[in-house]
Chains A and B, each alone.
Chain A
């Protein structure tokens, strides 16, 4: 998918060669494989689904089969340079907990998610239906997504949790959106850090 590659390129640009990377919800490991190719990262993926774990094994990706809803207790503080969660945050119950864990075990976190306030989604709701699109391909009754939030909502959460937004890029398909991203962007990518003023 063209979007996937665009997503990957942005993430790769935020990563230095040779970094330690943790990819939460790594799927078949294709992002880690890409980052190993272009950034020679030392990567590990976390995945719960047995079929995806099998796909990672086939792809030669280091995969650790645990349920990240239960936190990352086995991972040391600050061990990773970047902890990535690509298009999975909206499917997590423990949103605040996992963000905190990502910034505990990683120096920085990279998060991407579908923007539920994208204008086509708003249009779908105005027309009386839950949005179904390229980035939200499921019907309401079978979607794995459980948290429905927007770019504006996520910015608020970061402020509330003392999470520093180091960089944010928003897209409609593979076009960068700079004006009115909460209205015009279907997906957002964030580079996050621990806020200097935050304690604990």
Chain B
């Protein structure tokens, strides 16, 4: 067993792009910044680069720690020396997506045209737009072809999209806890979250920055709804059950059940640092993603361009991105004659399982990644 280590202190970098980026919505971003981090070293052949794509609330900070805050990367258990995505072998990149709120151009940044924050005027961005922007960053870093593109949830959609938009630039895609498109139920959860934000009196049509306020109540509610769907019934039951703060009902709307306390805490914490406009934009990107749409819903036809090899992973208790949705991707890839492996990990933690280090899950990732030839 290899000893697993952290990549240590990491420093984010910023790349500025002055070439306009055409967007799927028909709009254009005239110029933009992308914040990113890298771990490991790009080899002389430039063949060992791996892109890690983030999900709804993730960022470019995938691994290691920031010196000032001490904050650990969101997928630190996967990326590092001796870890399944071993930075002694691979050059790993994390990018904050466009529309994000961690430094890449987004609604909380200044719109050069007005000198004021973009707010609701920031254009709609899609999974495909993110991939286009990531490809330009890859160009800038001298990466012609990724050894792998990896992502969970919305990040898995980006990994899949990479292999369709840039089939010759990806050797392997790891599509984890994802789906080829959202179901009506999944979109419904996103819509409730958006309505919570849009109906917050402090939203001000998305221009709350100018009013010096933040729609924290709406954003916290949105996060609470999300959290419920990321956990499994069993996991929530085991963690909180019906535990009462006062050991008996006190007939109040204040926190009584421990699950209420947990959700409020998670909601408030999230609303303290995340941007409401980013949440809106990102959930729409999730809803719009549907590579088969242009092919009359025929996913096999949509995947016809793909040239990559795939690993698809799902989790038994994930009901927001259920195993059956991953299997749709798997069967479509197989029927497109792509090399694909699929595993359904038995893990109790629901959608959030993809961020954990379940031994079987990380064992399969390690085995698959170890077989990637550079």
Q: Is A58 an interface position by the 8 A CB rule?
A: yes
Q: Find the A residue at minimum CB distance from B346.
A: A50
CB-CB under 8 A from B343, the residues of chain A are: 50, 53, 57, 63, 65
Tell me the complex Cα distance, A56–B337, Å: 19
CB-CB under 8 A from A76, the residues of chain B are: 335
Tell me the complex Cα distance, A50–B367, Å: 13
A-B contact count (CB 8 A): 54
Q: Is B138 an interface position by the 8 A CB rule?
A: no
Q: Is A60 an interface position by the 8 A CB rule?
A: yes
Contact A60 B371 (CB under 8 A): yes
Tell me the complex Cα distance, A20–B335, Å: 10
Contact A74 B327 (CB under 8 A): yes
CB-CB under 8 A from A42, the residues of chain B are: 337
Q: Is A145 an interface position by the 8 A CB rule?
A: no
User: How close is B260's CB to chain A, nearest CB, in angstroms?
Assistant: 36
User: How close is B343's CB to chain A, nearest CB, in angstroms?
Assistant: 5
CB-CB under 8 A from A75, the residues of chain B are: 331, 334
User: How close is B11's CB to chain A, nearest CB, in angstroms?
Assistant: 34
Q: Is B322 an interface position by the 8 A CB rule?
A: no
User: How close is B360's CB to chain A, nearest CB, in angstroms?
Assistant: 5
Question: Contact mask B321-343 → A, CB, 8 Å, 1/0?
Answer: 00000011011001101011111
Question: Contact mask A83-108 → B, CB, 8 Å, 1/0?
Answer: 00000000000000000000000000
CB-CB under 8 A from A65, the residues of chain B are: 342-344
CB-CB under 8 A from A54, the residues of chain B are: 360, 363-364, 367
Query: Would you give 26 A-B contacts (Cβ < 8 Å), ordered by A?
Result: A54-B360, A54-B367, A57-B311, A57-B341, A57-B343, A57-B363, A57-B368, A57-B371, A58-B367, A60-B371, A62-B334, A62-B339, A62-B340, A63-B341, A63-B342, A63-B343, A64-B330, A64-B334, A64-B340, A64-B342, A65-B342, A65-B343, A66-B342, A66-B344, A74-B328, A76-B335
Chain A's interface: helix, strand, loop or mixed, by majority? Answer: mixed
Q: Is A113 an interface position by the 8 A CB rule?
A: no
CB-CB under 8 A from B368, the residues of chain A are: 57
User: How close is B4's CB to chain A, nearest CB, in angstroms?
Assistant: 18
Question: Contact mask A113-150 → B, CB, 8 Å, 1/0?
Answer: 00000000000000000000000000000000000000
Tell me the complex Cα distance, A76–B335, Å: 8
CB-CB under 8 A from A44, the residues of chain B are: 334, 340
Q: Residues of A at under 8 Å CB distance from B?
A: 20, 42, 44, 50, 53-54, 56-58, 60-66, 74-76, 79
Given contacts A64-B341, A79-B335, contact A53 B330 (CB under 8 A): no
CB-CB under 8 A from A74, the residues of chain B are: 327-328, 330-331
Residue of B334, B364, B370, B371 most packed against chain A (CB within 10 A): B334
CB-CB under 8 A from A56, the residues of chain B are: 341
CB-CB under 8 A from B311, the residues of chain A are: 57
CB-CB under 8 A from A58, the residues of chain B are: 367, 370-371
Contact A57 B367 (CB under 8 A): yes
CB-CB under 8 A from B327, the residues of chain A are: 66, 74
Given contacts A64-B334, A74-B327, contact A50 B339 (CB under 8 A): no
The 4 A-B pairs of least Cβ separation, nearest first, read A57-B367, A74-B331, A58-B367, A65-B343
User: How close is B162's CB to chain A, nearest CB, in angstroms?
Assistant: 20
Contact B331 A50 (CB under 8 A): no
Tell me the complex Cα distance, A20–B346, Å: 29
Contact B364 A53 (CB under 8 A): yes
Residue of A44, A64, A76, A79 most packed against chain B (CB within 10 A): A64
CB-CB under 8 A from A60, the residues of chain B are: 371
User: How close is A34's CB to chain B, nearest CB, in angstroms?
Assistant: 17
User: How close is B266's CB to chain A, nearest CB, in angstroms?
Assistant: 31
